[in-house]
């Protein structure tokens, strides 16, 4: 075997050393229901050329986002990424750089991360940001764990407007850490219910704005209620471009803010890798997960950068560590920083205004289609509509017309009772022709059903 060079005797010796009789003994911790019985349903062998042809045919079934009208969002958004971004991150000193544990030979990497942190802190409206996390959902989960450590409480209340995938990530991590999660049912606006769920055991309240239905919220009253009970407010944002127009989480009283940074510098890329943004109040910094780059001076008074407040060893103490995420999405963070630098402050605001204008045009066009009810009154670049039939079926019918109309809410939260709700997003890449095609196609598909 070209790629499996060990002989059977080699395998037997290794198993004996590990104290296992057969290979399956090494996987006893994997639940039986999650194990595959027998071989994968693939040919036993193929030539390299045949494999390339087969995989190429499979890949050709994918429809590129730019191939036609595209209105998908729900946490991942299609934006223009300048060619400069990819050109710079492909340079070998960035593409192959490793963790900057030795500052004397990693000043470039450390400075890039420091600049990233500065941009994130500015965007999220909080004084301290870390050097990135894997993505928005894991940043949200880490924020819940951080709040539990800070408050020494074991309950987290999640808004029904929080993206279901973010809620699931938080619940998974919380379960392992012994933190109780109270996730409210999906709702367009659940401010009153959220405030009512806060009690003396609450470590944090997690709310998203714009929320999963696209609704832009002022969470100031929720912040006041949480703080009055001694709890922290965690604000999540899945569309970071919205911060070019809306109040920052820090301005609204957030103690911890997390966001998905994919929209800046990073393409959709089949769902990853992305980049999580994380910022907090200065008083909480020692409980913040991930790495933190600081600015200092060397022995000769020259400006320099170092990892600060936590060491590599701090992250490998398993259950005693602040976080089990002890790395960062460095290359994606660099792409974010380059794109933000190219935009500048005014360019970022202009980008946000373009997104909002295109979404308003899309919402108006869709609202004019008979049978469509718009559910989101205050939005940034995404909104929810209720259709007279299951949204998933409508999406499939429009896909057959080469229109990717949006994300059925049932895909995010099956069984939640929102089968007729469709999430529609528009960005600066959405054209007026795209919007007209969506409205026309939606009208035709819904008319066919009623005929």
Averaged pLDDT for residues 404-415: 97
Tokens of 30: 């994997």
Give percent of the chain with pLDDT exceeding 70.
96
Tokens standing for residue 407: 């994300």
User: What DSSP designation does 85 have?
Assistant: H
When pLDDT is cut at 50, 70 and 90, the band that residue 86 belongs to is very high
CA atoms within 13 A on the CB side of 352: 19
Tell me the pLDDT band of 1, cut-offs 50, 70 and 90: low
SS3 222: helix
Residue 48: predicted pLDDT: 94
Options 3.50.20.10, 3.90.1150.10, 3.30.930.10, 3.40.50.720; CATH of 69-79+345-450: 3.90.1150.10
What pLDDT digit, counting tens, does each position of 339-370 carry? 999 999 999 999 999 999 999 999 999 999 99
Q: What pLDDT does residue 101 have?
A: 78
Please say if the pLDDT value at position 277 is more than 60: yes
Q: Give the model's confidence band at 98: pLDDT under 50 very low, under 70 low, under 90 confident, else very high.
A: confident
Domain 83-339 has CATH 3.40.640.10: yes
Q: DSSP label at 413? A: S
Q: What mean pLDDT comes out for the span 301-319?
A: 76
pLDDT bin (cut points 50, 70, 90) of residue 112 is very high
Query: What pLDDT score was predicted for residue 313?
Result: 57
pLDDT at residue number 449: 63
The pLDDT value given to residue 176 = 87
Residue boundaries of the structural domains of the chain? 69-79+345-450, 83-339
161-178: average pLDDT: 95
CB 109 within 8 A of CB 100: yes
pLDDT bin (cut points 50, 70, 90) of residue 105 is confident
- The pLDDT value recorded for residue 316 is 63
Verdict on whether the full-model pTM lies above 0.95: no
Which of 435, 377, 433 minimizes the C-alpha distance to 406? 435
Distance of alpha carbon 60 from alpha carbon 319, whole angstroms: 45
- Tell me the C-alpha distance between 355 and 361, whole Å: 10
What confidence score (pLDDT) does residue 2 get?
Answer: 64
pLDDT of residue 319: 66
Interhelix angle 432-450/391-399, rounded to 10 degrees, is 120
Q: What percent of the chain has pLDDT over 90?
A: 81
pLDDT at 450: 60
Mean pLDDT of the region 157-180: 96
Is residue 81 over pLDDT 60? Answer: yes
How far is 305 from 53, CA to CA, in rounded Å? 49
């Amino acid at each position: 075997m070209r790629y499996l060079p060990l002989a059977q005797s080699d395998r037997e010796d290794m198993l004996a050393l590990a104290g296992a009789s057969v290979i399956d003994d090494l996987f006893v911790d994997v639940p039986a229901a999650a194990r595959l019985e027998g071989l994968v349903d693939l040919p036993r062998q193929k030539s390299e050329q045949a494999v390339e042809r087969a995989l190429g045919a499979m890949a050709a079934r994918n429809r590129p986002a730019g191939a036609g009208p595209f209105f998908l969002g729900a946490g991942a958004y299609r934006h223009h990424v300048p060619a400069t971004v990819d050109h710079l991150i492909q340079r070998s000193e960035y593409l192959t750089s490793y963790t900057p544990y030795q500052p004397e030979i990693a000043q470039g990497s450390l400075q890039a991360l420091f600049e990233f942190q500065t941009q994130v802190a500015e965007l999220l409206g909080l004084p301290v940001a870390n050097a990135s996390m894997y993505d928005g959902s894991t940043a949200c989960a880490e924020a819940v764990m951080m709040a539990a450590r800070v408050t020494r409480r074991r309950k987290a209340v999640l808004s029904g407007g929080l993206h279901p995938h973010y809620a699931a990530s938080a619940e998974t991590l919380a379960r392992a850490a012994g933190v109780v999660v109270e996730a409210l049912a999906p709702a367009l606006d659940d401010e009153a219910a959220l405030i009512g769920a806060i009690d003396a055991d609450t470590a944090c309240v997690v709310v998203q704005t714009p929320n999963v239905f696209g609704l832009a919220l002022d969470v100031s009253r929720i912040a006041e209620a949480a703080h009055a009970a001694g709890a922290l407010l965690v604000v999540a944002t899945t569309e970071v471009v919205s911060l070019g127009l809306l109040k920052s989480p820090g301005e609204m009283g957030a103690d911890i803010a997390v966001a998905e940074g994919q929209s800046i510098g990073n393409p959709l890329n089949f769902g990853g890798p992305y980049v999580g943004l994380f910022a907090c109040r200065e008083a909480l910094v020692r409980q913040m997960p991930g790495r933190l780059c600081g600015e200092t001076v060397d022995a000769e008074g020259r400006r320099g950068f170092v990892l600060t407040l936590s060491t590599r060893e701090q992250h490998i103490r398993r259950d005693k560590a602040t976080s089990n995420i002890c790395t960062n999405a460095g290359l994606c963070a660099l792409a974010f920083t380059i794109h933000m630098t190219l935009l500048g402050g005014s360019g970022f605001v202009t980008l946000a205004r373009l997104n909002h204008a295109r979404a308003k045009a899309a919402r108006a066009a869709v609202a004019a289609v008979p049978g469509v009810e718009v559910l989101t009154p205050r939005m940034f670049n995404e909104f929810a509509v209720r259709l007279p039939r299951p949204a998933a079926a409508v999406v499939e019918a429009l896909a057959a017309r080469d229109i990717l109309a949006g994300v059925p809410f049932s895909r995010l939260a099956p069984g939640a009772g929102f089968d007729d709700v469709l999430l529609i997003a528009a960005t600066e890449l959405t054209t007026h022709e795209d919007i007209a095609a969506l409205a026309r196609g939606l009208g035709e598909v819904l008319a066919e059903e009623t005929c």
